[in-house]
Amino acid sequence: MQILPKSIRKLIEELSKLPGIGHKSASRLAFYLLKSKDLDREMLSDAVKNLKENLTFCQQCRNLAESVICNICSDNNREQNLICVVEEPLDVVALEAGRSHAGTYHVLGGVISPIDGVGPDDLAIRELADRIKGLTGEIEIVIATNPSLEGEGTAMYVARAIKEFPNVKITRIAHGLPIGGDIEYADEMTIAKALEGRRDYQIN
């Protein structure tokens, strides 16, 4: 016997499909929405329905945008010859929160993963090469894919695809132990990357 009405069961089922949302969390969200005001539910519904209405991909960096060129690429204060290559738009959000990157970005749209049927041609690697061709002067490409097996493999492929350009310097973001982390809890790959990325210790 079904205890909950069909409409609530359906909502819980759909919410459970969201990443990081289990059945219990979906149930709590469903009952929260049930108790919320009609206007709040309507605003949420409209936001979901109109999610893709004004969205497109920036023709330059492939990030999500509301116009042909995104706000970052069109910012004259950004260094156009400093390009940070990332996997997904959320990576741009994370890097921007750190406020340490003065250049622009290039979103690949994923990683090379043969097991998932994703090859190099499915990513915006060719677009990156075409973008480099349109630039003059010294260019630095910062590869900031995740330190997973797929991320490392994608980083290597991207580096090989653009190494032919003589005016391009290719760098890779450092990976290692997080601030406040304990070595004893770190995995082997994290420790290896931390040792590989070591630098001179500055003593004031």
- 183 assigned to some structural domain: no
Strands of the sheet with 103-107, listed across from one edge: 103-107, 79-86, 139-143, 168-172
* β-strand partners of 68: none
Parallel, antiparallel or unpaired: strands 139-143 and 103-107: unpaired
- 17 assigned to some structural domain: no
Supply the pLDDT for residue 1: 45
pLDDT at 159 over 70: yes
- 38 assigned to some structural domain: no
Supply the pLDDT for residue 203: 65
What pTM, to 2 d.p., does this model score?
A: 0.79
End-to-end CA separation in angstroms for the chain: 72
* Count of domains forming the chain: 1
pLDDT, average across residues 51-65 = 90
For 174-196, write each residue's pLDDT tens digit.
888 777 777 677 778 778 877 77
For 9-57, write each residue's pLDDT tens digit.
898 999 999 988 999 999 999 999 889 888 888 998 888 888 778 889 9
Query: In this predicted model, which residue has the larger pLDDT, 158 or 1?
Result: 158
Q: What kind and span of H or E run contains 139?
A: strand 139-143
Which domain does 129 fall in, by range? 78-172
Decide if 148 contacts 116 (C-beta within 8 A): no
pLDDT, average across residues 157-167 = 93
pLDDT at 147 over 60: yes
- 48 assigned to some structural domain: no
Whichever domain contains 130, its CATH number is 3.40.1360.10
- 89 assigned to some structural domain: yes
Average pLDDT of the residues of the chain:
89
Parallel, antiparallel or unpaired: strands 103-107 and 79-86: parallel
Supply the pLDDT for residue 174: 83
Query: In this predicted model, which residue has the larger pLDDT, 123 or 45?
Result: 123
Supply the pLDDT for residue 191: 81
Distance separating alpha carbons of residues 123 and 116, to the nearest angstrom: 13
Say which residue the tokens 């260019």 belong to.
139
Give the least confident one: 5-9, 19-23, 119-123, 163-167: 5-9
- 30 assigned to some structural domain: no
pLDDT at 140 over 50: yes
- 20 assigned to some structural domain: no
- 92 assigned to some structural domain: yes
- For 90-115, the DSSP string reads HHHHHHHHHT---EEEEE-SS--BGG
Per-residue confidence at 103, pLDDT binned at 50, 70, 90? Answer: very high
pLDDT at 202 over 70: no
pLDDT, average across residues 102-120 = 95
